[in-house]
Structure 1
């Protein structure tokens, strides 16, 4: 069995009067590409924020690298480094691409500015965007901004081996992109998984079928606050689970209720 990197056990999370997660169990294993899918509003992005330590559960336990997390990531660093790529890229509009990608090193390392610029250029080259460090985010297309956010997520301080991400979290990385741009991002996700300086383990939230099929090894279907189905990506085509059948057919008839 692969080593569990992250475990969510009996997780409950409520916002206002709505319980988004209800005794949810989930395990992320080392070296796997995991996709979390399901209808909108079922807590998929909430799961990512819980894994990242940006939210704390109301009930249940989170284990990172075998150690139980208490509180938020800002309260006590985890034994594993978790990187996150946000849905909207979340770049600083007033900073150049280079300053965005190297932001954490500029703020938290003692590396020289030239050394940081060299590392930034390496990261940009890895995501297929060499030589754009002086541009502003407003000068980039949506797909390019996504790739810049990937470059930022994999930035690591060579003087601190623990700074390299052990797991990456992707929140809808292909949302709003045309099919060709989506393919570029999907290929990039896989490239970063197998690359020398990439991250072998990742969790992705996505609605897009092409992204699910091209980037995931294992799939979890989240609905009504619980994992309702899990399996290998190819098992999507053979399962009799009515939730999976309805989700991938796009039918309005079935156990998933259509809002509005």
Structure 2
């Protein structure tokens, strides 16, 4: 019987290393592959490089060493050149412009970088705001919205695209702590939205989260980082059965284990 061939990775990280300052090595020779159709959660303690990976994949940050391939092409080769992959980023703090309305925030990239008439941009923006359950907030400013509402506006901004790009471009969404700081009900709304957008607006996504409910409800596969290295990969179903000490400690919240938090005492 013929064995099904493994799909081609959508994103490949090859020996990625990144330091901040002389002594803060955040990523240490990381190899990772992300496949079409996947929903992957990157987990681990604070400061272990999870958000750094998202910024490197999005092209916002360059690694010190290593290479990122998007659909088999070096990231620099397709960034900003109309490649067949579109990467959208949802930042932890929403990162909206305080001086712009919701509509101006969501349509910012089209207003700045496309030649579309403002009326058509407004129609695209209205459509995306409806998709995230925010149809009547176009004229509001970020300061007038709750934390959960700002998150949803940032989702709308991440999925905005020019009409003629829909057929030729695959879409990858990167979520950096999308439910951080939200109450349980607001978190559930955001988690459901992430799943629904996967079905209608993107091919794959990568999510960074500390929230156990978000990890379990939004991801199919999990990557565990610690000390700048990948310590474990597996499915969500394996969380409760794996013997990996890093995963066991992360989900139990125990102080005993390989993850040690150093607390500096005031002198």
TM-score (norm 2): 0.92
2:239 and 2:164 map into 1 onto residues whose CA distance is 43
Size of the aligned set, in residue pairs, is 257
1:131-210 matches, cutoff 5 A: 131-161=136-166, 166-195=171-200, 198-210=201-213
Match of 1:237 in 2: 240
1:2 and 1:187 map into 2 onto residues whose CA distance is 27
Q: CA 1:237–1:44 in structure 2 vs 1: closer, same or farther (change >3 Å)?
A: same
1:8 and 1:62 map into 2 onto residues whose CA distance is 5
- 2:46 is aligned with 1:46: no
CA RMSD of aligned residues (A): 1.6
Q: CA deviation at 1:104?
A: 0.8
Match of 1:117 in 2: 122
Q: CA 1:163–1:111 in structure 2 vs 1: closer, same or farther (change >3 Å)?
A: farther
1:164 and 1:155 map into 2 onto residues whose CA distance is 12
2:211 and 2:261 map into 1 onto residues whose CA distance is 18
Mind listing any 5+ residue stretches in structure 1 that lack a counterpart? Answer: none
Mind listing any 5+ residue stretches in structure 2 that lack a counterpart? Answer: 1-5
Counterpart among 19, 24, 29 of residue 23 in structure 1: 29
1:104 and 1:257 map into 2 onto residues whose CA distance is 42
Q: CA deviation at 1:79?
A: 4.3
2:20 and 2:69 map into 1 onto residues whose CA distance is 23
Match of 1:224 in 2: 227
- 2:14 is aligned with 1:9: yes
Deviations 1:212-256 (A, max 9, x none): 000000000001111100000010000000111111100111111
Q: Secondary structure at the match of 1:259?
A: coil
2:113 and 2:76 map into 1 onto residues whose CA distance is 24
Q: Is the 8 A contact 2:84 2:168 kept in 1?
A: no
1:61 and 1:92 map into 2 onto residues whose CA distance is 32
1:26 and 1:234 map into 2 onto residues whose CA distance is 20
TM-score (norm 1): 0.95
- 2:71 is aligned with 1:65: yes
Match of 1:259 in 2: 262
Match of 1:215 in 2: 218
Match of 2:3 in 1: none
Q: CA deviation at 1:161?
A: 3.7
Counterpart among 247, 253, 259 of residue 250 in structure 1: 253
Q: Is the 8 A contact 2:43 2:50 kept in 1?
A: yes
Q: Is the 8 A contact 2:170 2:203 kept in 1?
A: no
Does 157-166 or 78-87 show the bigger shift?
157-166
2:61 and 2:132 map into 1 onto residues whose CA distance is 29
